Amino acid sequence: MRVRRVLSLLVVVALTGLLSGAAAGAGPTAQAAVAAAVGLLPSRVQEAVIAPAAPAPVAPAAAPEAAPEAAPVAPQQARQRVTSVRVAPVNVPGTPCTSNARACVDLSGDRAWLIEDGEIAYGPVPTTSGRPGFRTPPGTFPVTFHSRDHVSSIYDAPMPYSVFFNGGIAFHQGSLSQLSHGCIHLSRAAAREFFGSLERGDLVQVVP
């Protein structure tokens, strides 16, 4: 309340000084008039008026919010495992054998085929098989090895284009009018076809 009175007094004094100066022909500034008026005040009041006002406290700036961490991304599998599906072998139309066989022999029908992808690739071709006492055993056997100019060490007989699949039993070129000692006789052309088509590990199915 006291300060307001002082300030009002300063304004009155300043205006009075300005008016007086104007009447006398002088041009004092408002700042000079106020300074003159302040000089008339007691020293304690002068300090209160002259002292600069304390600056208003500035609120500290709020710290920037941290960006939310990205959710961890689950690692993806580089490769997907492919589960192999086993398909049961089926009968190959026109033969007594199944689709997992690469060569088929029908002992009772004296004929043979080559099979590929479940279908007949070659044949039927005529065959002869083992004589009594040397019957060709039925079953499924893998091809073990080839011998183009094979000669039997037991019977001292030539066995061209031999493809062995059950011990000493093989497809080979032989007589189609005489029974063998267990092997499957083929004509020369058929023996060459079997020799060139069958690979080691291929299955030979022999049906009674």
Catalytic residues: 172, 183
Within 10 angstroms of residue 161's Cβ, the number of other Cβ atoms is: 23
164 phi and psi, to 5 degrees? -85, 140
Q: Which two tokens stand for residue 6?
A: 């002082």
Torsion 23-27-28-29 (CA) sign: positive
**Distance of alpha carbon 149 from alpha carbon 183, whole angstroms:** 15
160 touches 149 (CB < 8 A): yes
Q: Packing angle between helix 2-24 and helix 30-39, nearest 10 degrees?
A: 120
